């Protein structure tokens, strides 16, 4: 297992290119199951999660061709047995999204209940509720969801009791081939949902309203061949922006979509960073002191939970105390004790963390615990004096493409080393 070594304490200066969004790419890949014609995706990030899902799709009978340079051609001409086993689904929660498309296309499926990041219980009750409303009969047995829709799926009105990104996407994927009209209410509004809807429409689906809280889907009989470019990763964009604010200096993020991160830009400006956004790029600079700002995670367009850990790393350096409240996931402060090893002063009480700054962070060995938490340790390491080594970086490889290369291009002293020789 590799480690990442960072010699911190130097400002970042340079340009970093943003990849396609992991959270979009995974749902777009699942959409390929709906069609017997090819779907070619561009700007697909080379990530462990994308590889896992590619393996699962291949097992389901999809021809998965990596054409290089981020192009992935997925062709589900004939599907194999619609069964997604535990070994493949447990690695990543988003694999569960194959369930809806399989029921829609094959009338039946058996999919393992998901695994994924250890950030709270993360149930799938809303996913199942939506699929049942569309006419699937669902049974849970020995860790598997066994679903049947012998007469096919039919459009329905579904009111989600709470906003869920995954359940909104899953319902949309299943409803595309259902008979008649589906109306989804109280939907999540994250940009990845609009990306999925736009791609489905490019494939011949009739989805409207994605990105608002009501989505309407007119079922169609068949989808056709399509090409789609994955939206830029707003979490990666936000992560490098926070890294630049923490380390100081000036960084340009190319290929980004600044409109997907307004909540972050607002908070970073209040924290003392300078943000200049243009079409397809954003520049972050900081030379003065960092100010303490309170945040609360919220569904889009609020401050994203996927940037909470990174922002906590920044706040350890701020002048004063900041309160960070996590409202989306329970148990999502696992990075706090690791940040403390670098000298941070953080008190966690329930879903609130109080971060008292400023401290002078000092490099130390730390361990990654989940995808976003681990990158907060990298950010702290960039700002810390001396050497920080982050172990268990398979978590990072799930969600950040060529992290060390990109940060090195941005001026960081960072490298990957095999664990044994580190
Ligand atoms: C997605 C993102 C993840 C991000 C999250 C919130 C992907 C692959 N992952 O996760 O990076 O942190 O959105 O922006 O896109 N819930 C239920 N029942 C359900 C489903 C969800 O109670 O059936 C709850 C969850 O426990 C959580 C909340 O709803 O408290 C929001 O979760 P959700 O939006 O579904 O997150 P994911 O789609 O899993």
Q: Tens digit of pLDDT for each residue in 37-87?
A: 999 999 999 999 999 999 999 999 999 999 999 999 999 999 999 999 998
Position 234 scores a pLDDT of: 98
Q: Residue 401 — very low, low, confident or very high, per pLDDT cuts 50/70/90?
A: very high
Neighbours of 258 (CB within 10 A): 22
Q: Going edge to edge, which strands form the sheet with 226-229?
A: 63-68, 71-75, 39-42, 226-229
* 333/91 Cα distance (integer angstroms): 21
Q: What is the pLDDT of residue 115?
A: 63
Q: Which atom of ligand 1 is nearest to the CA of 128?
A: 23
Q: Give the pLDDT confidence score for residue 88 in this predicted structure.
A: 87
pLDDT at 108: 97
Q: Environment class of residue 141 by beta-carbon count within 10 Å: exposed (0-12), middle (13-18) or buried (19+)?
A: exposed
For the chain, the average pLDDT equals: 95
Instruction: Give the residue-averaged pLDDT of 357-383.
Output: 93
pLDDT tens per residue across span 330-355: 889 999 999 999 999 999 999 999 99
pLDDT of residue 379: 98
Average pLDDT (381-408) is 94
Determine which residue's CA is closest to atom 5 belonging to ligand 1: 165
CA 96 / ligand 1 centre spacing (Å): 12
Position 422 confidence tier, pLDDT thresholds 50, 70, 90 = very low
Q: Is the CB of 188 under 6 A from ligand 1?
A: yes
Lowest mean pLDDT among 175-189, 307-321, 394-408: 394-408
What is the number of residues in the chain? 422
The finding on whether 124 has its CB within 6 A of some atom of ligand 1 is yes
Which tokens belong to 178? 């259902």
Of the chain, the percentage scoring pLDDT greater than 90 comes to: 89
Contacts of 111 by beta carbon, 8 Å cutoff, 6+ apart: 83, 84, 89, 95, 96, 98, 99, 102, 144, 145, 147
Secondary structure class of 326 (helix, strand, coil) = coil
User: Does position 326 have pLDDT exceeding 90, yes or no?
Assistant: yes
pLDDT digits (tens, 9 = 90+) for 200-216: 999 999 999 999 999 99
- Output the 3-class SS for 101-118: HHHHHHCEEEEECCCCCC
- Whether the CB of 305 sits within 6 Å of ligand 1: yes
Annotation says 187 is catalytic: no
Helices (H) and strands (E) in the chain, counts: 14, 24
pLDDT reported for residue 157: 98
Task: Kindly report, residue by residue over 117-161, the tens digit of the pLDDT.
Answer: 554 567 899 999 999 999 999 999 988 999 999 899 999 999 999
For ligand 1, say whether the CB of 26 is within 6 Å of any of its atoms.
yes
Q: Which pLDDT value is given to residue 97?
A: 95
pTM: 0.96
Q: Is the pLDDT of residue 245 over 90?
A: yes
């Amino acid at each position: 297992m590799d480690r990442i070594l960072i010699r911190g304490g130097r400002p970042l200066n340079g340009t970093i290119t943003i990849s396609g969004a992991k959270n979009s790419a995974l749902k777009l890949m699942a959409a390929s199951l709906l069609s017997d014609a090819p779907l070619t995706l561009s700007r697909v990030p080379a990530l462990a999660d994308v590889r896992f899902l590619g393996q699962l799709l291949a097992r389901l009978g999809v021809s998965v061709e990596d054409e290089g340079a981020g192009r992935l051609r997925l062709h589900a001409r004939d599907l194999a047995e619609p069964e997604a086993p535990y070994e493949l689904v447990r690695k990543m929660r988003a694999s569960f999204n194959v369930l809806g498309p399989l029921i829609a296309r094959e009338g039946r499926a058996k999919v393992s209940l998901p695994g994924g990041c250890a950030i709270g219980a993360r149930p799938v009750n809303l996913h199942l509720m939506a699929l049942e409303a569309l006419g699937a009969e669902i049974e849970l047995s020995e860790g598997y969801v066994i679903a049947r829709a012998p007469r096919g799926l039919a459009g329905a009105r579904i009111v989600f009791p709470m906003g869920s990104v995954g359940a909104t996407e899953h319902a949309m994927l299943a409803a595309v081939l259902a008979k008649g009209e589906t109306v989804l209410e109280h939907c999540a509004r994250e940009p990845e949902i609009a990306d999925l809807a736009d791609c489905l429409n490019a494939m011949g689906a009739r989805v409207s309203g994605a990105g608002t809280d009501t989505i309407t889907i007119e079922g169609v009989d068949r989808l056709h061949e399509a090409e789609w470019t994955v939206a830029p990763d707003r979490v990666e964009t936000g992560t490098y922006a926070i890294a630049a604010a923490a380390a100081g200096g000036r960084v340009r993020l190319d290929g980004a979509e600044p409109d997907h991160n307004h909540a972050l830009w607002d908070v970073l400006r209040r924290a003392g960073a300078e943000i200049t956004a243009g079409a397809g790029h954003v520049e972050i600079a900081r030379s003065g002191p960092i100010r303490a700002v309170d945040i609360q995670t919220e569904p889009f367009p609020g401050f994203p939970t996927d940037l909470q850990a990174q922002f906590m790393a920044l706040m350890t350096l701020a002048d004063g105390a900041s309160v960070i409240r996590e409202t989306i996931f329970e148990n999502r402060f696992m990075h706090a004790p690791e940040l403390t090893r670098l000298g941070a002063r953080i008190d966690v009480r329930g879903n609130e963390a109080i971060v008292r700054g400023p401290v002078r962070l000092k490099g130390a060995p730390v361990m990654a615990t989940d995808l976003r938490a681990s990158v907060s340790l990298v950010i702290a390491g960039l700002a810390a004096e001396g050497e920080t080594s982050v172990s268990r970086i398979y978590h990072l490889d799930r969600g950040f493409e060529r992290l060390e290369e990109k940060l090195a291009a941005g001026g960081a002293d960072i490298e990957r080393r095999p664990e044994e020789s580190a």
